[in-house]
Amino acid sequence: MDTIACQSLCPALQIYKLKFTYLPPTKLTMVQADTKAIVQEVGLRDGLQAAACTMPTKDKIRWIDAAYQAGVRHMEIASFVPPRLLPQMADAAEVVTYAKGYHDLVITALVPNEKGALNALAAGVHRIVVPISVSHAHSLANVHKTPAAMVEEFGKIRTLIANQKNPINLVAGLSTVFGCTLQGIVSLQAVCDIVEKCLEAGADIIALADTTGHATPLQVSQTIAAVKKIAGSKFTSMHFHDTRGMGLPNTLVALEHGIREFDASLGGLGGCPNAPGATGNVVTEDLVYMLESMGYATGIDLAKLVAMRDIIRQALPNEPLYGFIARAGIPISYPFIQS
């Protein structure tokens, strides 16, 4: 059925087309089977940082092993922060050292300052992501620095990395891009200003995060378009939360705009402890199901991914887990891609 016919049957589609700058819906069904999408598992960092209890190191290692066996090749494994502030990450160096045994695994760590960067570099990570909140209020609550001060810190970390023998990618991880529970509205201009400053400071990668689950499809479309004009090919990654059920719809919009790397957490575990209401990372299992069903190759075995949830249940029995695929099961038609 063509677009005109569809619109005649459903007038709402006409409104949808006028309000949102999307590609025609038919484009979504025409993805080539060899198109690749990267799913970075962030549960070991973003997921565990908000957990009430600390996952034992042996169980983190089980998680890494199982994720690798399931085909995951990008993991954000730890935060290099003082253990007194985040005891869940006290074993960061040990966990990274173990993960390095998988030579084709891309290991990312979050660091908020120079000291954390030095420790991450010593451990041997491949990518460092620095959290730079666009929201002034969230930045003070999360890292006790203003956004401008964090950009300055980012520049210092760039200098540290420049002295390394092995290439390390420095990621400007912009948080609260789409709104903030502490500050409220975050303007698109403020986002673009921070992006420009991060690029000037030497960012290799620009990544945008919907830390508090405020993002809507229209907002995502507008933001990606604006940031792409500034960052170009350096803007590659998105991090959505499913707090209001918009995680996957927002991912669809990002795909249409050419973004091909997405963060997700096993079982939807996690959230930012310094952003009230920031629950619900996108569920890795649901994201992989959607991407593979659209023809995007993630390289991840969905059944093995779902089975991994037992690791969290055993190690953190009181942590709630989410996900439609785990609840309903993988359909026998998966992945159904009609040529």
Quickly count: other Cβ atoms within 10 Å of residue 258's Cβ.
Answer: 11
H-assigned helices in the chain: 3-9, 11-19, 48-49, 57-69, 92-99, 114-123, 136-143, 147-162, 188-200, 217-231, 247-256, 284-293, 302-307, 309-315, 324-328
Q: How far apart are CA 44 and CA 292, in angstroms?
A: 23
Q: How far apart are CA 168 and CA 133, in angstroms?
A: 22
Residue 298: both structure tokens together: 């993630």
Residue 241: both structure tokens together: 């939360």
Residue 58: both structure tokens together: 């042996």
Q: How far apart are CA 270 and CA 262, in angstroms?
A: 15
Choice among 53, 192, 198, 272 that is catalytic: 272
**10 flagged as catalytic:** no
Q: Which one, of 258, 261, 248, 255, lies nearest residue 322 by Cα?
A: 248
Stated length of the chain: 339
Q: How far apart are CA 175 and CA 139, in angstroms?
A: 9
| Residues belonging to the active site | 272
